[in-house]
Structure 1
């Protein structure tokens, strides 16, 4: 696969804005592990290899277990996720699939059992941001790094 362009070179001011959004999410107080699970789950749904690669690397670097990463697609059936993570992952799926779900009240009510208004606001911005990044990286054919020992034989 050949990248179509480098968006950071083509639209630097827009990317500065997105990086400022990312910095605000990082400073929001949401747990880093939760943020990475949300980014990874949305990226799985959207099929963004570049983002999946990036967020698996970041999550493992910060102590996330391989098993929780492997089971993330089946989080509803696994006891490895907390109630707070489940509410966030449910909201992630609801917003990432918004054309189908329309963000039902039940999903929002579940979210309110685990998060306060500020956290819900930042979580919602986070989900919007990762969906933006997925669309940009898929649309412009970003290619993730390939480590020698990870490449197919």
Structure 2
């Protein structure tokens, strides 16, 4: 697939806004392991191959196991995730599919059992951020397989290096 638009070049202000949200989430105190699991789960749901590639590489670099990474799409059927991670993965699914789910009270109560108010807002913003990156990467066809660990840190990089 050929990239369509380098959105970072044609809309640098939009890119800066996305990075501001991402920087907030990264500095919010959200556990890095949880952050990567959430990013990966949403990316699978949204069919974003670029982001799946990125977040599996990032997660591995931060010590995540291959076994858990392979199990993210089928997390409910595995014993590899903590109750807190399970709540975050379920919340990721329901918020990512908001048009289908309407985010029911049952989903909210499940995640509230594991996260306090501030943590839940930060978790939800992480989900918002990855859904935005997924939509940009899928819509503009970010080239899959090009991501290098750590390359998504600076706003000045080429669009193909972000998600």
Superposition deviation, residue 145 in structure 1: 2.8
- In structure 2, the residue matched to 1:106 is 106
- In structure 1, the residue matched to 2:47 is 47
Superposition deviation, residue 144 in structure 1: 2.1
Task: Write the distance in 1 (CA, Å) between the matches of 2:109 and 2:146.
Answer: 41
Superposition RMSD in Å? 1.1
Alignment of 1:84-95 (within 5 A): 84-95=84-95
- In structure 2, the residue matched to 1:62 is 62
CA deviations over 1:61-102 (Å, ceiling 9, x no partner): 000000000011110111100000000000000011111111
Aligned residues: 147
- In structure 1, the residue matched to 2:23 is 23
CA deviations over 1:6-61 (Å, ceiling 9, x no partner): 11111101111110111110111110010000000000011100000000000000
Superposition deviation, residue 146 in structure 1: 5.0
Task: Write the distance in 1 (CA, Å) between the matches of 2:17 and 2:71.
Answer: 33
Are 1:138 and 2:138 counterparts?
A: yes
Q: TM-score, normalised by structure 2?
A: 0.88
Task: Write the distance in 1 (CA, Å) between the matches of 2:78 and 2:133.
Answer: 28
Q: TM-score, normalised by structure 1?
A: 0.93
- In structure 2, the residue matched to 1:151 is none
Task: Write the distance in 2 (CA, Å) between the matches of 1:47 and 1:131.
Answer: 11
Gaps of 5+ in 1: 148-153
Task: Write the distance in 2 (CA, Å) between the matches of 1:70 and 1:24.
Answer: 28
Are 1:119 and 2:141 counterparts?
A: no
Task: Write the distance in 2 (CA, Å) between the matches of 1:146 and 1:98.
Answer: 30
